[in-house]
Amino acid sequence: MSRKMFSMLVNGEAQTLEAYPMERLLDVLRDHLGLTGTKEGCGEGECGACSVLIDGELVNSCLVPIAQANGTEIVTIEGIANGRELHPAQQAFLECGGAQCGMCTPGMIVATVHLLKKYPRPDAEQIREGLNGNLCRCTGYMRIFEAVEKAAALELTR
Amino acid sequence: MRSHPADYEFVSPGSIGAVLELLHCEPGEWLPVAGGTEVMVQYSAGRLAARRLVNLWDVKELCRITETDTTLTIGGGSTFTQLREHRSVQEHFPLLAQAASWTGSIANQNRATIAGNIVNASPAADSPPALFAYEAELELVSVSGARRIAYTDFHLGYKKTALAPGELLFAIHLPKRFAGWFRYGQKTGTRNAQAISKVCIAGVGRLAEGRVESLHIGMGAVAATPLRLRKTEESLVGAALTKSAIANARHVLLTEIAPIDDIRSSAEYRGHVAGNLLEALLCTFAASKDVA
């Protein structure tokens, strides 16, 4: 099978690239576009380290062949901040100690952004469900949950 | 060993007609891929036998949920997120909305489709028990047209289905006739989130004058296919839900399931949990005030 041309909007920038249709979106982001903030953990849709938004929907980029991302709008962790101004989710993770080794953090933040768009004032259960596809092996999650609550508060006052 | 993308063909015909034409021209040659939550896992692990794949994700005809006064029709490409959020699914088929919310994570639910869940034919899939309970019908399409079969006739054996080469699962039809029925759904997994079931159950029923008038129960992960528990149901229809009737049903259940040992559980544990879940369903049913 030969490579084909694919076009998409990544973090607001139009991108056209040549790839095999079955290349994973995760690999295209990291290897073709140099967007290494999106991490690979399990590579099978369990850990959420590779979370990105496609047309506003939270997805595991390790499970998306690039052909299925053609013509879509993608947001990665690199596109969450507004220039040098951190997104409330990023600010809250910093302030609450919601990150330790950092491997899960980009996915956690992207999942948090998705959650807050759906539920601007999430309750504890919605937070747990919204992040249940994102595994963290350092924090024990409590500070992450606190960070999401704080992010919701920050976003509402923004 | 990870797969190399150059070894795979992946085409996007873009319409149902073009996909069916491709499946027809080279039957058995092309593997349809919708949300990829199953196929891409196998692909990444180097276990995907198929080398030629056809994209269903952009086939809009598959993603419609429509309804009449009597039927809800769910396009095969509807995602679990769409199912759990759809007002009519919530209202008329809450066990299906619940099963959708139990399947994988939010990110998985945004991609995984109902047809994928059915056609992949995992005995442990979460939606089949609810589809059995609601007596779903499947609409299969090919270039020669459409045919409808009862969901109970779809699973033929482990990962074997009634889907013929060249056919696609186009839609799931659900009769809107369970308003006011008793319902019960439960899943036993290693953790609440994102776990594959050790055993799952869904059932709906109706009592009349203290006796079971109707009862449909589906169960997952207790046999080579998802199961409709016909014998267990039959042992209860017409009976009052007494302790002895429930104990007897538990006994009948063990004659129609065939749980196995695997990485997620043991046959013995599964048999025991299956009995417990049935008993919980029946005790809740007995205590329910519902008499339609």
Q: Is the pLDDT of residue B28 over 70?
A: yes
**Residues A101 and A41 both lie in one domain:** no
The SS3 call for residue A77 is: helix
Q: Cβ separation of A21 and B57 shorter than 8 Å? A: no
What is the rounded CA–CA span in Å between residue B94 and residue B174? 12
Report the SS3 class of residue B118: helix
Q: Is the pLDDT of residue A72 over 60?
A: yes
The per-residue pLDDT for B193 is: 76
A150 in contact with chain B, both atoms CB, cutoff 8 A: no
Residues of chain B contacting A59 with CB distance shorter than 8 Å: 107, 110-111
Q: B182-287: what fold?
A: Enolase-like; domain 1 (3.30.390)
Q: What is the CATH number of domain B62-175?
A: 3.30.465.10
Could you check whether B62-175 and B182-287 share the same CATH topology?
A: no
Kindly state whether residues A102 and A146 are assigned to the same domain.
Answer: yes
**pLDDT interval class at B1 (50, 70, 90):** low
Dump pLDDT digits (tens) for A117-153. Answer: 999 999 999 999 999 999 999 999 999 999 999 999 9
CATH of the domain at A123: 1.10.150.120
How close B200 comes to chain A (CA, Å)?
A: 20
Vertex B97: Cα angle to B93 and B101 (nearest 5):
165
pLDDT tens readout for residues B202-228: 999 999 999 999 999 999 999 999 999
CATH, residue A29 = 3.10.20.30
Give the closest-approach CA distance of B212 to chain A in angstroms. Answer: 36
| pLDDT, position B194 | 78
- Distance (Å, rounded) from C-alpha B124 to C-alpha B36? 18
Q: Please list every residue in chain A whose beta carbon sits closer than 8 Å to the beta carbon of residue B53.
A: 22
Residues A50 and A101 in one domain: no
Separation of alpha carbons B109 and B7, rounded Å: 28
Q: Which of B44, B48, B51 is nearest to B30 (CA)?
A: B51
Q: Which residues of A touch B57 (CB under 8 A)?
A: 68
pLDDT over 90 for what percent of chain B? Answer: 91
pLDDT tens for B123-140 read 999 999 999 999 999 999
Q: Looking at the structure, do residues A72 and A8 belong to the same domain, yes or no?
A: yes
Asked if the C-beta of A146 comes within 8 angstroms of chain B's C-beta atoms, the answer is no
Residue B264 predicted with pLDDT over 90: no
Amino acid found at B105:
S
Which residue in A43, A68, A111 is closest to B57 by CB distance? A68
Over the stretch B95-131, which tens digit does the pLDDT of each residue have?
999 999 999 999 999 999 999 999 999 999 999 999 9
The class level of CATH for B5-55 reads alpha beta
Question: Which pLDDT score is estimated for B292?
Answer: 43
| Segments making up each domain of chain B, as ranges | 5-55, 62-175, 182-287
Q: Write out pLDDT tens, residues B135-166.
A: 999 999 999 999 999 999 999 999 999 999 99
Per-window interface: A 36-65 vs B, CB < 8 A: 43-46, 48, 51, 57-60, 62-65
Q: Looking at B26-30, B90-94, B189-193, which range is the least confident one?
A: B189-193
Mean of the per-residue pLDDT values of chain B: 95
Residue B192 pLDDT level (bands cut at 50, 70, 90): confident
Asked if the C-beta of A111 comes within 8 angstroms of chain B's C-beta atoms, the answer is yes
The domain of A22 spans 4-79
Closest CA in chain B for residue A43: B44
Partner-chain contact A59 B111, CB within 8 Å: yes
For the cut 90, the answer to whether the pLDDT of residue A5 exceeds it is: yes
Cα separations in angstroms, B190 against A132, A158, B153:
14, 40, 30
